[in-house]
Structure 1
Amino acid sequence: MTNPPADTLVHRSVPAPAGRIHLVEQGSGPLVLLVHGFPEGWYSWRHQLPALAAAGFRAVAVDVRGYGRSSRPEAVDAYRMVELVEDAVAVVAALGERSASIVGHDWGASIAATSALLRPDVFHAVALLGVPYSPPGGPRPSDVFAAMGGQEEFYVSYFQQPGRAEAEIEPDVRGWLAGFHAALSGDTMPGPDDPSPYFVGPGGRLRDRFPADRLPAWLGEPELDRLAGEFERTGLSGALNRYRNVDRDWADLAGHRGAPLTQPSLFIGGALDASVSWLADAIAAFPDTLPGLVASHLLDDCGHWVQQERPDRVNRILVDWLTGLAR
């Protein structure tokens, strides 16, 4: 397969267990697979694609199954983690490659980590953005989420019931996405004394606690229009089905309980991201769970959307890490 010139952004769809996976690639060289989180798409890597291409890498950002132009299977259990790993493996093969570095953000970080865990023959290095690695195991996830928040409901539990979050989001996709991104961004998130946007009050909605009428500095109206347009076309069920499979994942991966990732690895988080606070013990355990860790970075004044909030800093970190792997 002929690679495109380094300054060209190329869209294509490739066969995968999902049916098809849409991807966008730029550059030539060692393959770097970029996997987005919720509720995003390949476009969340728009700043990284040209930077990685300019540094001599073949950067490929996918639409995960259920998103964008990729296939959207109807069955809820089609979105379990082992299925998403097989999609990632299929993308590498369809691109004519045998192996890749894999980089993920949010749910994409979990997909990247599980891909590296299950298929170390394909994924020789892994970078995790926003969500640190926690080995499989522990209590059943839904039991943990149900116990959080007291009289309030944790957002993951809220997302797990099919149709419930869709009924909140889909009548005003653009407004909901604007509020959700603002709630988790370092420059617009609620203060420590405000009600948490990660919990739903009795009889309430998640969006009741989103910041109103303001966008993060990094998210302009054109970018929001593009993001909203994709979800207005596809709906949110495919994206939300990831949350509806956490217990299936727990069962599927039981045989890997406590397993470390031994490949060269990297972590980048936002210092203001709640995920970093909730999973502080996972970060502290990196010497055991990520023995191949090259570097771990917490970016000051940054929230959840690290590669979009701090694109230049993230690009430098990724390029330095990937270049070091090639030495």
Structure 2
Amino acid sequence: MPQHAPETTHRLVPAPGGRIHLVEQGTGPLVLLVHGFPECWYSWRHQLPALAAAGHRAVAVDVRGYGRSSAPAAVDAYRMTELVADNAAVVHALGEDTAVIIGHDWGANIAAASALLRPDVFRAVGLLSVPYTPPGGPRPSDVFARMGGDEEFYVSYFQRPGRAEAEIEPDVRGWLAGFYAALSAGTMPAPGAPDPHFVSGPTGTLRERFPLGPPPAWLGERDLDVYAGEFERTGLTGALNRYRNMDRDWEDLAAHEGAPLTQPSLFAGGGLDASTTWLADAIEAYPVTLPGLMSSHVLDGCGHWIQQERPAEVNRLLTDWLAGLP
């Protein structure tokens, strides 16, 4: 391993939605890192130097609507097909023809869709925290409306423009701290406590179910300052607009119903993460849906923010997988 990690470089590159901000470190085969909600490129701060040291050109983007990337006004500008086009444009703007793509949370869905729709560009795909589920099935808004009984699932709560913004934006830093804690090992609510993925009644909020107490161990004050500073500047609408396109995505991807991802793939999730446990059937279906799966792991005692909660372990999984790619 080199004594001095290569420096990180920030740049803006052209993309269909305007410009995409990215942070780059290292040289070698391109690895594109796509964050989830509510984060930004910074969620990959532990992976950039590790991947660079392992001989890769590691590039973490701010997804359209986040951070320093462009944030179009139209809600439907955040449909999945647009985000896939942004990722392909980033690869080409960096002078490359192909890349490995790795995503976390919403970024995992974006990475999967990028691999599905642009196999000519994305030669391998890594998914963190959210398992691959092929397009198809019932309309998403109908599925979410049936979840939770008398309570409302957070995805449904996020779908109405302005509603979640009214909860979050008066105190972005406090809300983010609570949301991160609610889904982290060590700080998430105990089994049997009200589930922070749901709101109660038409006036309920997610925040009233966030845990009280210290932040999770992985989240330092400076880390929280970075996230809060970005969202205080941009607001939350661009980020939340991803949730507001799930029915559009369902329609846009209907021609790919049931389609597997055939590229070499990796999955890693947290054993305490609802994204992993609720979608256990999707993981069991991987022999059919991810026939190129080379590496699959559920990390015991880990929550949702996997690459920040367990950076050394995730770095090892990623670098080992990348080293074994054809």
Into which bin does the TM-score normalised by the smaller protein fall?
over 0.9
Partner deviation per Cα, 1:70-121 (whole Å, 9 max, x = no partner): 0000000000000000000000000000000000000000000000000000
**Which amino acid in structure 2 is aligned with residue 60 of structure 1?**
V
Q: Give, in whole Å, the separation in 2 of the partners of 1:53 and 1:6.
A: 7
Determine whether 1:288 maps to 2:292.
no
| TM-score normalised by length of structure 1 | 0.98
**2:122: which partner in 1?**
123
Q: Give, in whole Å, the separation in 2 of the partners of 1:41 and 1:49.
A: 13
**2:58: which partner in 1?**
59
Q: Give, in whole Å, the separation in 2 of the partners of 1:98 and 1:267.
A: 24
**2:106: which partner in 1?**
107
Q: Give, in whole Å, the separation in 1 of the partners of 2:264 and 2:122.
A: 10
Q: Give, in whole Å, the separation in 2 of the partners of 1:269 and 1:41.
A: 19
Determine whether 1:306 maps to 2:285.
no
Structure 1, unaligned stretches of length 5 or more? Answer: none
- Alpha-carbon offset, residue 6 of structure 1: 5.1
**2:14: which partner in 1?**
15
**Which amino acid in structure 2 is aligned with residue 268 of structure 1?**
A
Identity %: 77
Partner deviation per Cα, 1:110-164 (whole Å, 9 max, x = no partner): 0000000000000000000000000000000000000000110000000000000
Determine whether 1:139 maps to 2:138.
yes
- Alpha-carbon offset, residue 214 of structure 1: 1.9
Query: Aligned ranges for residues 175-324 of structure 1 at < 5 Å?
Result: 175-202=174-201, 203-324=203-324
- Alpha-carbon offset, residue 213 of structure 1: 3.3
Q: Give, in whole Å, the separation in 1 of the partners of 2:77 and 2:270.
A: 31
**Which amino acid in structure 2 is aligned with residue 54 of structure 1?**
A
**1:32: which partner in 2?**
31
Q: Give, in whole Å, the separation in 2 of the partners of 1:187 and 1:174.
A: 20
Decide whether the 8 Å contact of 1:6 with 1:28 is kept in 2.
no
Q: Give, in whole Å, the separation in 2 of the partners of 1:119 and 1:304.
A: 27
Secondary structure of the corresponding residue to residue 325 of structure 1: coil
- Alpha-carbon offset, residue 18 of structure 1: 1.0
Q: Give, in whole Å, the separation in 1 of the partners of 2:278 and 2:213.
A: 28
- Alpha-carbon offset, residue 241 of structure 1: 0.2
Question: RMSD in angstroms over aligned alpha carbons?
Answer: 0.8
Decide whether the 8 Å contact of 1:13 with 1:21 is kept in 2.
yes
**Which amino acid in structure 2 is aligned with residue 190 of structure 1?**
P
Decide whether the 8 Å contact of 1:68 with 1:230 is kept in 2.
yes
